[in-house]
Structure 1
Amino acid sequence: MASKTTLNAKNLEALGTERLAQLLIEVSNGNAAAKRKLRLELAGAQSPKEAGRAIAKRLTSIANAKSAITWKKRKAFIDELQIQRLGIVEQVGSSDPEQALILMWRFIGLANPIIERCQSGDDEVIEVFHEACVDLGPLVAAAKPSADVLIDTAFDALCENMYGQFDKLISTLTPALGANGLDRLRQKLEAFLETSNATDLSTDVILRQNTAEYMQSIAERRKQRIAKSALLQLADAQGDVDAFIAQFEPWTRTLPESAILIARRLVDADRATEALDILDAADVDEDDWDRMDWQDARIDVLEAMGRKEEAQAFRWACFERDLWADYLRAYLRKLPDFDDIEAEEKAVAIAMADPELLAALQFFLDWQSPDRAAELLINRHSEIDGNRFEYLTPAADALAESHPLAATLVLRAMIDFAVSKGRSKRYRHAARHLATCAELAPRIEDFGAFETHETYVARLKSQHGRKSGFWANVG
């Protein structure tokens, strides 16, 4: 049973309205957001129209503001935006959807200038406008604006979608627009692209034209990109994969990220053969960050085509090349009972012999096999690159409890690198690693061919005793 002093609605109601009112005045004193919330509630208590006026007044103030939104102000500002957004939906929308719809479009129109005022953390601000786009759905359904008004308003918003803040707009409005409305919106966007006369931004042209013309051409190009993005979303809403593909210039379809987008939609349209052709034509570089996404897409396409053996072979090839544990897990799940044991043993042998020690180490840690990771480090300790602290530090942490010798070898590699190379900025970390080695030493039953902790420290002092910056941290 909850205490009578617990903060909940029932206990607060017992205080009575007069006392609660006094407390609210005290709590809101010095809190501008709380005061605005209370004023909005009071306006809403009078009528939805009064609430709408209060919101409209506040939206005008926000629109006129020019000061930067620093990280210190960001949370309070986001709270303020949410108060206005929810006020539109809850206090106005429930009884006057037409007015609420007008207010929500005004609210959405504030997005670009607000985001541009943010000095950091604009993703959180953008999320507020994503929510506002979703709010439009029920408001449009209730207000029932004319198709022409809805199409024109949506078009204007989409053309201002500079930061992706309106990416949910088309999917939200799809039920209200219907097939005809979506088609008309698409035609409007296509007409805009056809009539857009963006300036050629070659170096010669840039040098010849004045700054105003150049900035105008930049704005035109930006709007073109925004319109193309909107057409992609429209194609998805209409389920038109050919219209989706048409938005990509032929040369861009060989980019891995574009090929993936196109292939996934072709699979959804039961055109997996074309999807495989698109993926195989992509220019995938061994060092591309999106190569794993491309590989995942290719496996999905092969599965959709019923070419399961090829999908399995590709999973194994992906694992062998990069030792990514996810591919091995997926490969083993597809094998018959008991076959997976033999395949796992083969995978372990491949990892143990991989020329990239850190890749093998990361695999065993991801595979949750600390025994194998320790064996790898002990057998190939001379290959440990003490400069790769981003891999070695978490490895030492993971192995310290169950395999103190292997963890010690990793820590020593980082210490040796920092001290021998004179990396003074790492001395503090190296000293901490040495202290950890001292803590691990009593738990190591047999150092084997490796130096004991005392011998290692003595050698370190003999070879690097003049590195005073390091030894000062050790004390």
Structure 2
Amino acid sequence: MAPRSAASRKALNASNLAGLGADTLARLLVEASAGDGGLKRRLKLELAAEVGSADLAAEIDRRFAALANSRTRVSWRKRPELLRDLTVHRRMIVERLLPVEPVLALDRLMAWFDLYPGLAGRVKDPKGELALLYFEAAADLAEAANATGPAGVAPLVEALQTRQSEWSNWIGRAAPDFRTEIAQALLDSTREGRAAPTGRLALVVRKLADRCGDVMAWAAAIPKEDAVKPDIGAEIARRFAERGHAAEARAALEAARPRAPEPARWTRRNAPAPTPEPSPAWDSAEIAVLEAEGETARAQTARWAAFERTLSGAHLDAFVSRLADFDDVEALDRAHAIAALWPDPAAGLAFLMNRGALRDGAAMVLARSEALTLSEEDTALWAGRFEGRFPAAALALVRRRATGLARAGLGRSEVVRALSAEAARLAELPGAVATLESHAAFIDGLERLSPTASGRGWR
């Protein structure tokens, strides 16, 4: 093996430093820490950890007490140093203390979190880095609580009840990572002998209920005035239906059914306002409720009705997947016919193209090209897909784009010139102009839409 070069031996890395020997490294660290408070604290933490968990906890406590008692403002220059210090102590708790003393570690980690209100009041932090540091540490809180087991519930409950402003955010963030029994115990503590939760606590309850799969608790944390709103009520109903609570799902859905607004007192003699169309979320919830009630035929009817109203591919796919052989082909033909006549032709064409119905899409383009308004990207993409099998549709799309721009006053633009050149190329394809006007006639139309001040031709 070739000897290492002098340059490689001088590189600052762990291997080369280890070669200096323990005595030399110790001396260098003492010298370096003399002018670096952060390094000195880190070294003291490591030394305390080597002695034992109680000594490490005591060293952590001393630093936390100093941070809690300090009233000194932390400038933006000092903020990074403070954030590093907080991160070091959190990692020592999680990586060194938690594996050997879970209860002690959870207590110290909660003390770390309790530093936040005081620090937030004296740290210049316009970017919110301090708040983000604490928010992202919520996963460590869940890890510590899980390691502690039932003994870890009481202090978290106490924190949530007495310091709700901050702890509701952290426990809510940690909720998906709690063990089920921990989340359930926390959830129970928020309900026993208490009124329905509101505000931040309600959000925490919903996250804990999600973790426990407790749909009743989740729904109970929704304010009544919100539960009757169509989309929120639909979400409540959907969750009930997924858990098999058909009666509760139906009640939630009906309470949130879209209704016409009450007429104002001075307009009551006028015709009543129409009932608003249900939202996609409400449609989906209604179908889920019907399935939960065992009304499969009505659910199928609702799927088709929702598709006819919204052109939703998801509803169509769900409808077709439940049909017998050959019935699905007929249903797809009906769906494509609906899309081809859709009031918004661009949306109807997009539906057909996204489902690969090129033949139906081409027929729609030729029948309704004058009503189409497409983006540059869609025109290029779909014309390219039509070109091989349906060149007339490709040509119609390109011409429609060019004509639309010309009518908008852009007939002399380079974009329209490029589109006219593309139209000339497509017009040469077999069958492209069989049912369309000639390329010369198309150019004459552009000429009329794009007059010049000098009166000279467009070409």
Q: Quick one: distance in 2 between partners of 1:38 and 1:369?
A: 67
Q: 1:346 and 2:346 equivalent?
A: no
2:190 aligned residue:
185
Find the partner of 2:381 among 397, 406, 414: 397
Q: Which amino acid aligns with 2:403?
A: D
Mean Cα deviation higher: 276-285 or 179-188: 179-188
Q: Which amino acid aligns with 2:353?
A: L
Q: Which amino acid aligns with 1:186?
A: R
Find the partner of 1:375 among 363, 367, 374: 363
Secondary structure at the residue paired with 1:306?
coil
> Does the CA contact (< 8 Å) of 2:342 and 2:348 recur in 1?
yes
Q: Which amino acid aligns with 2:425?
A: P
2:98 aligned residue:
93
Shift of 1:267: 2.5
> Does the CA contact (< 8 Å) of 1:231 and 1:244 recur in 2?
yes
Mean Cα deviation higher: 173-182 or 79-88: 79-88
Cα deviation code 1:228-276 (max 9, x no counterpart): 3234345556665555444444443221232123213422553213312
Q: Which amino acid aligns with 1:359?
A: A
Shift of 1:108: 8.3
Aligned residues: 393
Cα deviation code 1:366-393 (max 9, x no counterpart): 21223322221111112113xx53xx63
Q: 1:135 and 2:118 equivalent?
A: no
Correspondence 1:308-347 to 2 at 5 A: 308-347=296-335
Cα deviation code 1:199-243 (max 9, x no counterpart): xxxxxxxxxxxxxxxxxxxxxxxxx52123234345556665555
1:417 aligned residue:
404
Cα deviation code 1:270-295 (max 9, x no counterpart): 32133123223424389999821222
1:211 aligned residue:
none
1:460 aligned residue:
446
Summarize the Cα distance change of 1:420–1:353 in structure 2 as closer, same or farther, 3 Å threshold: closer
Pick the structure with greater CA Rg: 2
Q: Which amino acid aligns with 2:421?
A: A
> Does the CA contact (< 8 Å) of 2:394 and 2:426 recur in 1?
no
Correspondence 1:157-168 to 2 at 5 A: 158-160=164-166, 166-168=171-173
Q: Quick one: distance in 1 between partners of 2:249 and 2:45?
A: 54
Summarize the Cα distance change of 1:330–1:83 in structure 2 as closer, same or farther, 3 Å threshold: farther
Find the partner of 2:237 among 258, 263, 269: 263
Q: 1:151 and 2:157 equivalent?
A: yes
> Does the CA contact (< 8 Å) of 1:151 and 1:181 recur in 2?
yes
Q: Which amino acid aligns with 2:139?
A: V
The gaps in structure 2 that reach 5 residues or longer are 1-10, 21-35, 50-55, 260-273
Summarize the Cα distance change of 1:155–1:344 in structure 2 as closer, same or farther, 3 Å threshold: same
Secondary structure at the residue paired with 1:421?
helix
Shift of 1:67: 5.6
Shift of 1:333: 0.9
Shift of 1:95: 4.3
2:256 aligned residue:
282
Q: Quick one: distance in 1 between partners of 2:239 and 2:298?
A: 21
Correspondence 1:225-244 to 2 at 5 A: 225-236=199-210, 241-244=215-218
Q: 1:106 and 2:98 equivalent?
A: no
Shift of 1:317: 0.9
Q: 1:291 and 2:279 equivalent?
A: yes
1:29 aligned residue:
none
Secondary structure at the residue paired with 2:297?
helix
Shift of 1:316: 0.9
Shift of 1:432: 3.2
> Does the CA contact (< 8 Å) of 1:235 and 1:243 recur in 2?
yes
Cα deviation code 1:429-468 (max 9, x no counterpart): x643642552464244122344555654454344324499
Could you state the TM-score of these two structures normalised by the residue count of structure 2? 0.66
Q: Quick one: distance in 1 between partners of 2:238 and 2:110?
A: 34
Shift of 1:315: 0.9
> Does the CA contact (< 8 Å) of 2:206 and 2:221 recur in 1?
yes
Identity of matched residues, %? 24
2:268 aligned residue:
none
> Does the CA contact (< 8 Å) of 1:256 and 1:283 recur in 2?
yes
Summarize the Cα distance change of 1:19–1:251 in structure 2 as closer, same or farther, 3 Å threshold: closer
Q: 1:442 and 2:425 equivalent?
A: yes
Q: Quick one: distance in 1 between partners of 2:352 and 2:66?
A: 57
Secondary structure at the residue paired with 2:137?
helix
Shift of 1:351: 2.0
Q: Which amino acid aligns with 1:329?
A: D
Q: Quick one: distance in 2 between partners of 1:173 and 1:135?
A: 10
Summarize the Cα distance change of 1:269–1:348 in structure 2 as closer, same or farther, 3 Å threshold: closer
Q: Quick one: distance in 1 between partners of 2:255 and 2:280?
A: 16
Correspondence 1:351-362 to 2 at 5 A: 351-362=339-350
Secondary structure at the residue paired with 1:400?
helix
> Does the CA contact (< 8 Å) of 1:130 and 1:167 recur in 2?
no
Secondary structure at the residue paired with 2:386?
coil
Mean Cα deviation higher: 315-324 or 413-422: 413-422
Q: Quick one: distance in 2 between partners of 1:421 and 1:20?
A: 74
Shift of 1:102: 2.6
Shift of 1:417: 3.5
Q: Which amino acid aligns with 1:340?
A: D
Correspondence 1:297-308 to 2 at 5 A: 297-308=285-296
> Does the CA contact (< 8 Å) of 2:398 and 2:422 recur in 1?
no
Could you state the TM-score of these two structures normalised by the residue count of structure 1? 0.64
Moved over 6 A (4+): 19-22, 35-44, 53-61, 77-85, 285-290
Shift of 1:185: 3.2
Shift of 1:335: 0.9
Shift of 1:361: 0.8
